Structures are given as structure tokens and as C-alpha cells.
Amino acid sequence: MIDYKAAARTMKDILGLKSEPVAVKFFERMVSLDGFVVPSDRRYCQVLMGARHGKKFLLTADNIACPAAAWALGLKEPPPTLSSGEMPAKMGIFGSPEAARNTLNSMSRLPMGEYKMVACCPLSEAPFEPDVIVIESDVEHLMWVALAYAFDTGGRLEFDTAILQATCVDATISPFLRQKLNASLGCYGCREATDLSESECVLGFPFKDLGKIVTSLERLNEKAIPRVRGKTIYKALLSRKD
């Protein structure tokens, strides 16, 4: 049994996170969770933002504001202007409806109607076993999480993104369905609608990998992380006269 509070504290302390790792849970039926709020007209990326700042939110078909996220989460069918690619093209995200439609058709999505509710809260306060852990933070922080994920096995990591639906698809649904870590550079929606800064990106991984990531971060913090952050080699270069 993983101690969620201890895991979150370890990640925050080692990485220097300024906000909370977020626990995300999909529910096949509507349930009541103490302390969780059902906000009105909220985007998934905004619910995630609230959770990383300490809030507990529930998202359903009735209160989700973003049609693309609602479609991806299987909560609502998309409006024709979205599924045709017309909406993203009019927003200037893609050069044509065809290009937008090509991207939308490549998206990973939850089966329509399979889940009725999504819960997001700080990992340290999760009253359930999460499906996915999402971290929004500086690129250097996410680099160490990704390296911790591969610490025991090595190899190369492949990140799957369309630079569209970064928080809902790239960092949440993709890790859930594929059971693999995934990272994204962000997207139009989350960068306009949330406080995600220019230097921050987003990463998600399945709950099953939480323990190994925390343990590997502790190992990385024995030598690699302090040395890199100390910039020993760079400081030596600055001291040279040539």
C-alpha cells in the first residue's frame, strides 16, 4: 500500500515542485466524495489546475465546459463544428479543417458513456486509488520524472502528442489506456485557459508506476540531481580563460 501523502511529499521535495502532483480517477457511476466540489462550467484543464493548487473537483457531462475534453473523456458527443475540424481551423490552430480533422481522428479517447465522472485532487489527499498521476511543472522537473520512470529498465521513451488536448488526452487518457508514461509540450487550450506558464509542461503516468518513480527519484537524488543542479562542469567552463 502506497502512502500517497509521503509519495507526494517526496516528489515535491526532490523535484522542487511548486504545486501538487494530481490524482485522477474515472468512475463508471456517479458517487459522492466528501470535500469534492462540482464546479459549474469548468474545463478539464482548469479542474486539473485547481487540483494542483489544493482543490478537489468532480467533472461530469453536466458541468464540463470544453467540448473537446468532453468528447475525449467519453462524457459527450462532439458538436459537428468540432468533429469536422471547422472549429479548430477557425481558431487558427490548424491551417485547414482537414488538418484539424486528421489530428482529431488520431486522438485516444475513452469509450463514450463508459465513465460518468472524473475526480481530480492533490495526490496527498486522494481518498481513492488513482488511475493516473498528472504533474504540471517546469521542464527540468518533468525530465527527472521521466528518467525515474526508465531508471530500472533503460531504453528510450516515446512521447505521443498532437499539441492539442495536452492535459486531457496526452497526460491523462493516453497514460490510462496505454499504461505508459506520456508527456506533452502543452496546447492552445491549457495555455490559454489555465495558469500553466511558458516554462511549464505536463506529464502523466499510470498509478501502477508511482512507487517505482518515487523510489527511483530518491536514487537519482543521491548523486545525479544534485550534481546537475550544481552545474559543476558549466562553472568550470566559466572559470577558463580561453
Q: What is the per-residue pLDDT across 98-156, written as a single tens digit (0 to 9) for each?
A: 999 999 999 999 999 999 999 999 999 999 999 999 999 999 999 999 999 999 999 99
Closest CA to 96 of 104, 166, 72: 104
Residue 128 has φ and ψ, to the nearest 5°, of -145, 170
d(CA 67, CA 77): 8
Tally of domains within the chain: 1
pLDDT of the residue at 214: 98
Q: In terms of residue numbers, what domain contains 216?
A: 4-238
The DSSP code sequence of 62-76 is: TTB--HHHHHHTTSS
201-242 pLDDT, tens per residue? 999 999 999 999 999 999 999 999 999 999 999 999 999 988
Closest CA to 198 of 185, 179, 189: 185
46-74 pLDDT, tens per residue? 999 999 999 999 999 999 999 999 999 99
